């Protein structure tokens, strides 16, 4: 059992802290937001994640998990041995990661710490940040107290973060201090996954390279989808055939309106920024971003190809709004850009999402929110699927067709079968589904 403090209880911090507590450690969650900490103390989670509340409640009740806004309490009162920095690293100017929250955390830790610490960067941070954090701590300490910095990047997917934490493919650790890395490795032994120990910069690079590669896979299959439409092939079957090759793998080969979220867009841009600053031209990363930006336009192009370029007087419904199923997160969600493009063409836009409605209302101006999928399709000239929620997959197509003004479905996540849609009398366009499922549209 170790004493662990987590600085920042957002998407990464609350999962990291709760899971380490569930492994038997004594964890203190620290955040500068009084509101967030008050909510957590009242048993209200700061993020939507199935299973998190039960896990947190159980560990709070067992006395292994507590929350505070005080650095003194979290670092010294809690007698922390390990301090995980899990604060946000939002996209800054030109795609550079904004490290203001990491700086503030490092400074505050240094100012209060009264005993040696292992400080661990869990947040996704640019290559070189580990040394930068060490410099900040050294400069901010009133007196020299021993500490080490370890990079331990997170690989958590929203919607499956608890499972991803408890069943990692690997743990990556980087440090200038092998002893500190070994101590952090010990924390991860119960997870029974390979542990890679390297230097700080390499560990930080593994995180960026991993996310950039996953984003590349997505943009690759989306480019293949666009070519499939021109050549009358079905990208889903292409992906299935490709994925059986052990060197390719089937994951991240679902063609659609592209990636969103708080990680892929930010991390690919940040890596490209780091490369450009050093005079290394990230041509492939630029193409990944360009293709991803174009993908969200394709469903608008298809809708306008069917309804007419001018959408004035038309109503278009967005089925699903979150950047992916399993979360309420609207950050970089394709639905935001798609709504804006439709409104710019004169359309009235409706939207429905099982969990992201509140957030969507804040980020999509003038969207008309529906109560459920059928309320969404009612009166629509076209419906665009933006998020692959399970509850949409078995939609009663006959009922939907009756409710719609025009039977047009543009499937941005390929959740429907083109044959079934045709049988139901719907005009269907998928992404890369060949002529059965999608007329070709102009490619960039």
Q: Which residues contact 186 (CB under 8 A, 6 or more apart)?
A: none
Closest approach of Cβ 178 to ligand UDX, in Å? 26
Considering only 166, 209, 252, 301, the residue that binds ligand UDX (CB under 6 A) is 252
User: Which one of the spans 25-33, 224-232, 260-268, 298-306 is the region binding ligand UDX (CB under 6 A)?
Assistant: 260-268
- Of the two residues 68 and 222, which places its CB atom closer to ligand UDX in the complex? 222
If one asks whether residue 156 binds ligand UDX (CB under 6 A), the answer comes out as yes
- Of the two residues 148 and 222, which places its CB atom closer to ligand UDX in the complex? 222
Considering only 155, 208, 273, 416, the residue that binds ligand UDX (CB under 6 A) is 155
Considering only 162, 263, 336, 403, the residue that binds ligand UDX (CB under 6 A) is 263
- Of the two residues 215 and 345, which places its CB atom closer to ligand UDX in the complex? 215
Number of residues near ligand UDX (by CB under 6 A): 20
Site string for ligand UDX, 295-324 (x = CB under 6 A): ----------------------------xx
If one asks whether residue 256 binds ligand UDX (CB under 6 A), the answer comes out as yes
- Of the two residues 196 and 306, which places its CB atom closer to ligand UDX in the complex? 196
Site string for ligand UDX, 322-361 (x = CB under 6 A): -xx-------------------------------------
If one asks whether residue 157 binds ligand UDX (CB under 6 A), the answer comes out as yes
Considering only 261, 320, 418, 438, the residue that binds ligand UDX (CB under 6 A) is 261
Considering only 154, 223, 328, 337, the residue that binds ligand UDX (CB under 6 A) is 154
Binding positions for ligand UDX, 168-227, rule CB under 6 A: 211, 214, 218
Tell me which residues are annotated as active site: 263
Considering only 29, 258, 407, 430, the residue that binds ligand UDX (CB under 6 A) is 258
User: Which one of the spans 60-68, 155-163, 226-234, 392-400 is the region binding ligand UDX (CB under 6 A)?
Assistant: 155-163
Residues that bind ligand UDX (CB under 6 A): 154-158, 211, 214, 218, 252-254, 256, 258-261, 263-264, 323-324
């Amino acid at each position: 059992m170790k004493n662990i403090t987590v600085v920042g209880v957002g998407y990464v911090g609350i999962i990291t802290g709760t899971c380490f507590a569930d492994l038997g450690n004594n964890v203190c969650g620290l955040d500068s937001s009084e509101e967030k900490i008050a909510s957590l103390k009242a048993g209200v989670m700061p993020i939507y994640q199935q299973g998190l509340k039960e896990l947190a409640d159980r560990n709070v009740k067992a006395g292994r998990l507590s929350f505070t806004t005080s650095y003194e309490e979290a670092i010294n009162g809690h007698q922390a041995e390990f301090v995980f920095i899990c604060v946000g690293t939002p996209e800054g100017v030109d795609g550079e990661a904004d490290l203001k929250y990491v700086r503030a955390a490092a400074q505050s830790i240094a100012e209060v710490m009264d005993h040696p610490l292992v400080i661990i960067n869990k947040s996704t941070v640019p290559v070189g940040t580990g040394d930068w954090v060490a410099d900040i701590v050294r400069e901010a300490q009133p007196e020299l107290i021993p500490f080490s910095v370890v990079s331990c990047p997170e690989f958590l997917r929203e919607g499956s973060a608890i499972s991803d934490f408890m069943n990692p493919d690997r743990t990556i650790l980087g440090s200038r201090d092998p002893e500190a890395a070994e101590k952090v490795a010990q924390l991860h032994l119960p997870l029974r996954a390979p542990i890679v120990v390297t230097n700080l910069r390499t560990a930080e690079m593994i995180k960026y390279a991993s996310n950039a590669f996953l984003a590349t896979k997505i943009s690759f299959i989306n480019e293949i989808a666009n070519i499939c439409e021109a050549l009358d092939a079905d990208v889903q079957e292409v992906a299935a055939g490709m994925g059986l090759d052990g060197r390719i793998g089937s994951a991240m080969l679902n063609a659609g309106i592209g990636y969103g979220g708080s990680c892929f867009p930010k991390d690919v841009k940040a890596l490209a920024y780091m490369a450009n600053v050093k005079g290394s031209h990230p041509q492939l990363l630029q193409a990944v971003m360009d293709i991803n930006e174009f993908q969200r336009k394709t469903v608008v192009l298809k809708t306008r190809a069917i309804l007419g370029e001018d959408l004035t007087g038309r109503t278009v419904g967005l089925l699903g709004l979150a950047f992916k199923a399993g979360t309420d997160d609207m950050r970089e969600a394709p639905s935001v850009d798609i709504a804006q493009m439709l409104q710019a063409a004169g359309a009235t836009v409706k939207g429905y999402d099982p969990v992201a409605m509140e957030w969507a209302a804040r980020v999509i101006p003038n969207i008309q929110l529906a109560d459920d999928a059928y309320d969404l399709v009612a009166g629509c000239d076209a419906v665009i699927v933006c998020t692959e929620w399970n509850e949409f997959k078995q939609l009663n197509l006959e009922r939907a067709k009756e409710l719609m003004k025009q039977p047009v479905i543009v499937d941005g996540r390929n959740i429907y079968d083109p044959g079934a849609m045709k049988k139901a009398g719907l005009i269907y366009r998928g992404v890369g589904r060949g002529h059965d499922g999608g007329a070709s549209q102009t490619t960039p």
